[in-house]
C-alpha cells in the first residue's frame, strides 16, 4: 500500500515486540517503540531490528526491521503523537493511565499544528474495551478546549488480542529476541476508526467486537487460568504438563464447553466452529516450545476472580441462561487455592482465607452472594481439594 504510514507503539516488552509491533512493521509501517527499559531502547536504536522465533507446528525465525525507540517518559512522545497515523499499546492494563498524559500533550500539539490527518489509537491489552478506558484517561489529562477537536479527528479503537508470548528463556542475554506461538489474533472494532482503517495483515475488522472479546475471555483466558490453578494443585510446573494430565484436561475442556454454550446462545456462534476453536486452544496449551509456568499464568488471582473476569463472568452467564457450570466451579475453587511467593495478590488471598471462610472471601473478591448456590458449590469443590 505504498506505505508512508507511521506508528508509535507503547510497550517494547515481549508482546509489543513479538506481536503488535511485529504486525505493524511487517505491514511496512514506520514503527517507533516507546518504553522505559533503557537496555531495550538502546538495543533497538543500535540495531533497528530483532529476531522473533515463531514456534509451533511450523517453527520459523523472522526478522523485524526498520524500527527505532524512544523513552516513553520523554518529550519525544509529544512530537510523535502529533505526527503519526497510528498509536498502539501493549503495556499492561495497570500502565495505561501512566501513558495518557504524554498522549494528551501530543494530541494538544497535533491540534495546535492543525494536523487534521486521522489518528487512530488502539490499546492492545488483556482487558475489555481497553482503548475506551485509555480514552477516558487521555481526556482527563487533556485541556477541555481540545476535546471536540479530538472527537473529530482521533479514533479510539477497541480491540481483542490473543497470542501466547512466554517470558524469554533465562540465559538468553539478547534483550530483543522473543519467542511467540504460531497462533495470533488481533480483532478491532471497525466502527470506531477515523478515516479508512489501515490495512495491516493480521488485523481483522469486526462490527461486533464484544462477541470476540468475550469468546477469547471465556475460552482462552478461562481455560488458561483453570489449567494453571488445577495444574499447580496437581504438582505440575508448566501449562503443557498440566494440560496433558487427563484429570486437568477433562475439567478445562468441560469449562470451555460450559462457557461455549453461553457464547453460542448469546452471539449465535456456530457450534461446530466453536468446538474446533476449543480444540485449537487445547493444542496451543500443549505447544512444547512454550515453556509457560503455571505459577506465572495463575498470578493475580484476585483480579482473575473479579466479577468481570475469566472465571466469574462466564459462571454468572451460565446462571443467566440456566446452563451447567460444574467445571467452571471447580476452576474457581482451584483459583482459591493458588499460592505464590512472588505474587502479592496470592499473599492477600491466603491472608483473607486465614481470617474468614471461603464463602465470605469469594463473595468479597467476586461480588457473588455468599449465600448463593453457586458459592456453596465452590465451597464444596474447595473442600474436596483439601
Checking if the pLDDT of 171 tops 70, the result is no
Using alpha carbons, select from 14, 32, 11 the residue that is nearest to residue 83: 32
pLDDT of 3 above 70: no
**What pTM was estimated for this model as a whole?**
0.88
Give the Cα-Cα-Cα angle 166, 223, 176 (nearest 5 degrees): 10
Q: What does pLDDT average to over the chain?
A: 96
* Chain segment 229-243, per-residue pLDDT in tens: 999 999 999 999 999
pLDDT for the residue numbered 167: 77
Per the annotation, binding residues are 7-18
Of 71, 72, 62, nearest to 19 by C-alpha is 62
Query: pLDDT digits over 188-223, tens only?
Result: 999 999 999 999 999 999 999 999 999 999 999 999
Task: For cell 440456566, name the residue.
Answer: 322
Residue 1 has a pLDDT of 45
Domain boundaries, the chain: 6-207, 211-384
- Set of cell numbers at residue 159: 480491540
In the predicted model, what is the mean pLDDT of residues 296-324?
Answer: 97
Do residues 75 and 108 touch, judged by C-beta distance below 8 A? no
Fold category of 211-384 in CATH = 1.10.1040
Q: How far apart are CA 83 and CA 81, in angstroms?
A: 5
pLDDT-derived band at 169 (thresholds 50, 70, 90) equals: low
Which pLDDT belongs to residue 128? 85
Q: What's the pLDDT score for residue 2?
A: 46
User: Which residue positions form the known binding site for NAD(+)?
Assistant: 7-18
pLDDT value for 57: 77
CATH number of the 6-207 domain: 3.40.50.720
pLDDT tens digits along 54-87: 998 778 999 999 999 999 999 999 999 999 999 9
**pLDDT above 90 as % of the chain:** 92
Residue 173 has pLDDT above 80, yes or no: no
Pair 128, 217: CB distance under 8 Å: yes
Give the model's pLDDT for residue 170.
59
Question: Strand 185-189 and strand 159-162: pairing?
Answer: antiparallel
Mean pLDDT of 119-127: 95
Amino acid at each position: 500500500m505504498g506505505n508512508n504510514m507511521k506508528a508509535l507503539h507503547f510497550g517494547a516488552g515481549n508482546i509489543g515486540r513479538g506481536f503488535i509491533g511485529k504486525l505493524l512493521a511487517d505491514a511496512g509501517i514506520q514503527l517507533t517503540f516507546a518504553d522505559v527499559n533503557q537496555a531495550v531502547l538502546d538495543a533497538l536504536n543500535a540495531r533497528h531490528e530483532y529476531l522473533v522465533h515463531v514456534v509451533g507446528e511450523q517453527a520459523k525465525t523472522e526478522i523485524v526491521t526498520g524500527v527505532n525507540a524512544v523513552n516513553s517518559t520523554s518529550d519525544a512522545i509529544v512530537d510523535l503523537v502529533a505526527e503519526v497515523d497510528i498509536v498502539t499499546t501493549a503495556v499492561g492494563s495497570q500502565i495505561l493511565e501512566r501513558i495518557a498524559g504524554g498522549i494528551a500533550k501530543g494530541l494538544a500539539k497535533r491540534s495546535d499544528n492543525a494536523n487534521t490527518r486521522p489518528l487512530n489509537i488502539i490499546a492492545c491489552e488483556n482487558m475489555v474495551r481497553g482503548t475506551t478506558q485509555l480514552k477516558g484517561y487521555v481526556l482527563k489529562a487533556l485541556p477541555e478546549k481540545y476535546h471536540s477537536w479530538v472527537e473529530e479527528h482521533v479514533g479510539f479503537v477497541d480491540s481483542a488480542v490473543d497470542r501466547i508470548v512466554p517470558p524469554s528463556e533465562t540465559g538468553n542475554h539478547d534483550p530483543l529476541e522473543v519467542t511467540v506461538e504460531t497462533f495470533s489474533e488481533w480483532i478491532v472494532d471497525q466502527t470506531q476508526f477515523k478515516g479508512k482503517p489501515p490495512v495491516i495483515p493480521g488485523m481483522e475488522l469486526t462490527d461486533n467486537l464484544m462477541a470476540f472479546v468475550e469468546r477469547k475471555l471465556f475460552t482462552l483466558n478461562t481455560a488458561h487460568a483453570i489449567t494453571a490453578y488445577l495444574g499447580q494443585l496437581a504438582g505440575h510446573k508448566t501449562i503443557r504438563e498440566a494440560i496433558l494430565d487427563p484429570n486437568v484436561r477433562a475439567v478445562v475442556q468441560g469449562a470451555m464447553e460450559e462457557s461455549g454454550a453461553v457464547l453460542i446462545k448469546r452471539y449465535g456462534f456456530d457450534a461446530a466452529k466453536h468446538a474446533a476453536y476449543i480444540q485449537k486452544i487445547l493444542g496451543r496449551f500443549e505447544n512444547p516450545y512454550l515453556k509457560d509456568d503455571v505459577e506465572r499464568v495463575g498470578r493475580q488471582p484476585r483480579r482473575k476472580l473479579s466479577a468481570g473476569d475469566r472465571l466469574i463472568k462466564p459462571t454468572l452467564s451460565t446462571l443467566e441462561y440456566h446452563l451447567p457450570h460444574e467445571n467452571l466451579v471447580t476452576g474457581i475453587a482451584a483459583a482459591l487455592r493458588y499460592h505464590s511467593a512472588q505474587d502479592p495478590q496470592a499473599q492477600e488471598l491466603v491472608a483473607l482465607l486465614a481470617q474468614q471462610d471461603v464463602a465470605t472471601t469469594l463473595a468479597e473478591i467476586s461480588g457473588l452472594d455468599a449465600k448463593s448456590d453457586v458459592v456453596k458449590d465452590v465451597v464444596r469443590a474447595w473442600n474436596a481439594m483439601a
